[in-house]
Structure 1
Amino acid sequence: MFLEQEADELIKAVNYVKENLAKQTEDLAAEIIKCFKNGGKVILMGNGGSAGDAQHIAAEFVGRFKKERPSLPALALNTNTSTLTAIGNDYSYDVVFSRQIDGFAKPGDVVIGISTSGNSRNVYLALALAKQKGCFTAALLGKDGGTIKNIADLPLVVKWPNTPRVQECHIFIGHSVCELVDRAF
């Protein structure tokens, strides 16, 4: 049956994450915990489904994940349509995130780009600028990691050919990070 096949593939993809990205996931959580404890913020971004994931993870930090704790400062750069369309119109879609990084990011912040292809130009340019500004950069990527794997301080590459499974693994990683952050606060 179709659903059984999809579930079996998802289980295989999650097992890939468990076997290959557990340490990187814990390392990302540690960087985020350090950032929050030092008064920094987490900035996330992505396009399409990855934009939804960025917004989802930011909401888990600002609201709560599983337990009561103080609100933690996080934002997704893809949520303000006025900002996105103004920058896209006045400059270019390639800089819709880097222009915001220029305004919001401070040294010590954690900036996370999400791209299932690993080749989103606007995510790449934003991570490059965030590094220049003294931020720790991480990326949730798919396929072979694309060009972004070369710019991020911590690339987490879900080497899977199927985009929906990559996205499901990205939110699994995001939720795992949120759980570890919850435990620290």
Structure 2
Amino acid sequence: MRSEAAEAAHIARSLDRSAALKRELGRDSGAIIAIVDLCETALRHGHKLLFCGNGGSAADSQHLATELLIRLRGSVARNSWPAIALTLDPAVLTAAGNDFGFEEVFARPLSGLGSAGDVLFGITTSGRSPSVIRALEVARTMQISTVGLLGGDGGAAAALCDRMIVVPDDETMRIQECHITLGHIILELLEDRLTGSGG
């Protein structure tokens, strides 16, 4: 059994690593601002944001879409904004996986729900998720802008993203912590711009 001191040291190391990665990402604020620019343009012109990812990244997709549809901050009064998490419908996901293969679980519904001018967020900690890569490929054929929240070296997904942020780490947990923080920052800035709030 590990001692309490050893577990306390583990907690401190994990928090320090998570914080260090986030500080490193903050040095490239231009990448974040470029993503906000894409999203602002889409929403101002009546388009929508779509999200996809597997596992924890599926949960992040649903989390971020909900922040847009319902609200991010209770202190900001605004309308609901159009967002779709392609991870939400088990009937759609299982039908697509059964009929077309798991690689198509996001691409198939995207082809029906997406429109030129929309923005698709592909969230993958490895940058190698076949279902996310396929969705990014289909988005490009539909003139949907592509944003990657990626990890590691970006993987094959990096080449398919118009804008991206790559968390330079190989540990899934730490990458996911950065992805949801980045998602919140993007939505905060977007909300400030579209409502004229914030500083």
User: TM-score, length-normalised on structure 2?
Assistant: 0.90
Cα distance in 1 between the residues matched to 2:141 and 2:99: 24
1:103 aligns with 2:112: yes
Which residue, 144, 164, 180 being the options, matches 2:189?
180
- What residue number does 1:40 align with? 47
Which residue, 3, 13, 21 being the options, matches 2:21?
13
Q: CA deviation at 1:161?
A: 2.1
Structure 2 unaligned spans of 5+: 1-8
Look at both structures and tell me which one has the larger radius of gyration over its CA atoms. 2
Cα distance in 1 between the residues matched to 2:170 and 2:113: 34
- What residue number does 2:5 align with? none
1:25 aligns with 2:35: no
2:87 aligned counterpart, secondary structure: coil
Coordinate RMSD, CA, aligned: 0.8
Structure 1 unaligned spans of 5+: none
User: TM-score, length-normalised on structure 1?
Assistant: 0.97
Structure 2 counterpart of 1:9, which letter? Answer: R
Q: CA deviation at 1:3?
A: 1.1
2:174 aligned counterpart, secondary structure: helix
Which residue, 155, 161, 164 being the options, matches 1:152?
161
Cα distance in 1 between the residues matched to 2:159 and 2:128: 11
1:74 aligns with 2:87: no
Cα distance in 2 between the residues matched to 1:145 and 1:133: 23
| Stretch deviating more after TM superposition (52-61 or 154-163) | 154-163
Runs (4 or more) in structure 1 with deviation over 4 Å come to none
Structure 1 counterpart of 2:99, which letter? Answer: D
Identity %: 35
Q: CA deviation at 1:68?
A: 1.8
Cα distance in 1 between the residues matched to 2:137 and 2:68: 24
Higher relative contact order (CA 8 A, sep 6+): 1
Cα distance in 2 between the residues matched to 1:149 and 1:126: 13
- What residue number does 1:169 align with? 178
1:57-99 alpha-carbon deviations (Å, 9 max, x no partner): 0000001111221100001001100000011111100001110
1:155 aligned counterpart, secondary structure: strand
Q: CA deviation at 1:11?
A: 1.0
1:145 aligned counterpart, secondary structure: coil
